Amino acid sequence: MHHVTKVHFGPLLSEVRTKVDSKRPILRYLVDKREGLKNTHPKELLVSDFSCFHSPFSLPDITEAVNLLLTYAKTNRKILLYGDRDSDGVSSTCLLAFFLRSHPEFQSAHLEVMVSSESDPYGLCKEAVTKIKKAKPDLLVTLDFGSSQADEIESLTELGIQVIVLDHHEVPVRIPKHCALVNPRRTDSDYPEKKICTAALSFKLVSAILFRESSEWNKLYAKTITNEDGSTEIVYFQNGIKVQKGSSTSSTSSDMAGQESSKSDNQIESNFDFSKKEVHPYPEDFTTNVPLDDERKLFFYQCQKIPQFFEQLEEETDLAGIGTITDMMPLVGENRHFVKLALESLTKLYIGDKKRKGLKELLKELKLNPNGITTKDLGWSIGPVVNAAGRMGKTEEAVSLLLSESEADAKTKAKNLLSINEERKERTKRNMDRVERYFARKPERTGHEVVYCYEPDMEPGVSGIVATRMVDTYKKPAIFVAPDNGDARGSIRSYGPENVLELLESLSHHFLHFGGHPEAGGFSITIDQLPKFESELYEKAKLWLSEDKDRPKEHLIETDFTVLPEEMNEKLRKEWMDLEPFGQGNPDIKLGIKNAKAIHLTPLSGGKHVRFHIVGSGSLKFMIWNKGEEFQNFMSKHGSFDLVGSLEENFYQGRSSLQFIVEWFGKSETK
């Protein structure tokens, strides 16, 4: 920990309170520092409700997807939902499946659910295509993959299988034919948010289905606006989207199977006579808790007119929030609202009688705080357990739990899923021990721009976790590879803002498959190709990083504030809690403490972890995970030290307490 190059200590709390002109100076200072939040209206920062969501009908191909699902569900043709193995894939698949199974209009739908397992390569691999052909669906919905697999999709549509893709990964130039591809990253997408996960897209699809089935569908609203030159014009809206003559609120795919190809249901023809259609006045007097743009305000107004609309959607937010956190989406804009509403929904689920029996039993088995589920619970408890099933080749176990319909069945499956997670932890530990020995034998391997590790005795299924730990240790992009079903599978994780997909693309001729996000990717490769891959990797990595001007040239930790030991308490933490949820794009508040002195030091787990107090902090506990021995060695040589970390609530055995989690300790070289 103490090898950090520099620490930039933020201002003292007293300085901020003196200099920032605001009723809440600490909160105002933090908001202004955060790029993704500083332009957010204060009320939208403090309040989250369904008014904050954009209409789903600006997503490309969403109307086609809705029409297809309604048509195939109501005619009892076979619908196959096929999801990816990770938490977002499982969450998005179960969200849509649960809705279709529980909603009265779709309960008779011929629905089948599949998910990929850890033994399958990524996406629509040949194994997945074989399974799909064997299932013989009329309609296939892929969730969390499919955007970059036009050839495979077209091979299925040629067999008469209609395809919907719900995905948020990077989209290539070629979009598959005869396919509804719902992806906000499409270059032709008008959707305001580009970085939302597939579970959020499942939520959007469900809300679009409910709206499509209502009397508000395709109603035309008009608003008269005054231009800067004093002239007036009429702006029209349909389904929460501004429309003009010749425009459409949904991008269309050509020649949709089983539908008219001339226009979508939500398209207004260029020669349409607006005066001949019933036009409703824009609700000028309608008020919301949060100041909204015209489109969101109107869509919320329309949704409020639909009986039980928000009540039906409330429970769907839970899995959307879990997917958002675990897939590391930036917690700004809609993602922020998804997670906040998910926490409310999960808390109600925990203490109430809701439909999701499986998720409720999982919360109980995890022994989470019934007084309020937190973002940390999503990211560190619920998400990893759901993810563990896929990592251990047992994705179906997570799906089976989340779709459970009885408490007894759900309780058994929740215990089973926690047992799988314990297996995952043990496998991770064994792999990490091997990684440490690997670099101890070959320390020169840590001198490259990218740290790489492969040995034949590594165990599969946890490569992403191990790669992330390698990044934390070596402060560089990291690749971890393990044997897997006769081949090998690797994961890459970024250290800074570099795009790991660019590196994988430059090495793609070695891979069987690859994919992922700019921050995290994966690939499969034959074992005999690994030596060639590694030898080329280091040269490609040099070129890759030399072109990345934003890459940090040194490891720097920046704190939001410098605090005195006596200032840290629950009252201080409450000053910024309105910034929750914390995570990707909106990190937890980082505090710096200078010249601290430890007392009452207690080694834990044989010295692996350590708990202590510092002089002046009262009863506040400080925790260091996985670096206990290093801290004790450091303490034996230094009388005082600097700390960087964050305050968090700890819930254990029915009791809550405040603690300080140490991210870094040492003697800082101040920037």
Structural domains of the chain in order of their starting residue, each with its CATH number: 6-33+559-666 (2.40.50.460), 215-305 (no CATH), 317-423 (3.90.1640.30), 442-546 (3.10.310.30)
On the question of pLDDT at 382 being above 50, the answer is yes
Residue at token pair 């893709």: 165
Give yes or no for residue 551 having a pLDDT over 90: no
Compute the distance between CA of residue 227 and CA of residue 373 in angstroms, rounded to an integer. 47
Q: What pLDDT was estimated at residue 273? A: 59
Q: In this predicted structure, what is the pLDDT of residue 612?
A: 96
**Which pLDDT score is estimated for 264?**
42
Confidence (pTM): 0.88
Q: Tell me if 90 sits within 8 A of 398, measured CB to CB.
A: yes
What are 437-494's pLDDT values in tens digits? 999 998 999 999 999 999 999 999 899 999 999 998 898 999 999 998 889 999 999 9
Question: Does residue 142 surpass a pLDDT of 70?
Answer: yes
DSSP state of 289: S
β-pairing, 179-182 vs 162-166, is: parallel
For the record, the structure tokens of 503 come out as: 């590196």
Concatenate the DSSP letters of all residues of 131-151 into one string.
HHHHH--SEEEEES--TT-HH
Q: What is the sign, positive or negative, of the torsion defined by CA atoms of 512, 516, 518, 524?
A: negative
Percent above pLDDT 70 for the chain: 92
Question: β-pairing, 520-525 with 513-516?
Answer: antiparallel
Which ranges in 35-163 belong to alpha helices (H)? Answer: 42-46, 62-74, 87-102, 126-135, 150-157
Query: Which tokens is 133 given?
Result: 């052909």
d(CA 295, CA 286): 13
Helix, strand and coil content of the chain, in percent to the nearest 5, comes to 40, 20, 40
Residue whose C-alpha is closest to residue 104's, from 208, 204, 210:
210
Dihedral angle of Cα 396, 131, 320, 61, to the nearest 10 degrees: -170
State which amino acid sits at residue 445. Answer: R
pLDDT, tens digit, for every residue of 239-286?
999 986 544 444 433 333 333 333 344 445 444 556 667 899 999 999
490 Cβ neighbours under 8 A, 6+ residues apart: 454, 463, 479, 480, 481, 482, 522, 523, 524, 525
Residue 38 neighbours by CB distance under 10 Å: 11
Q: What is the pLDDT averaged over residues 111-120?
A: 84
Residue 302 has pLDDT above 60, yes or no: yes
Local confidence band at 670 (pLDDT 50, 70, 90 cut-offs): low
**Using CB atoms within 10 A of its CB, is residue 343 exposed (0-12), middle (13-18) or buried (19+)?**
buried
Which of the two residues, 20 and 497, has the higher pLDDT score? 20
Tell me the residue length of the chain.
Answer: 671
| Long-range contacts at 635-638 (CB < 8 A, ≥ 24 apart) | 635/598, 635/601, 638/667
Between 668 and 178, name the one with better pLDDT: 178
- Using the predicted structure, report yes or no on whether residue 211 has a pLDDT greater than 90: yes
pLDDT tens across 214-224, in order? Answer: 999 999 999 99
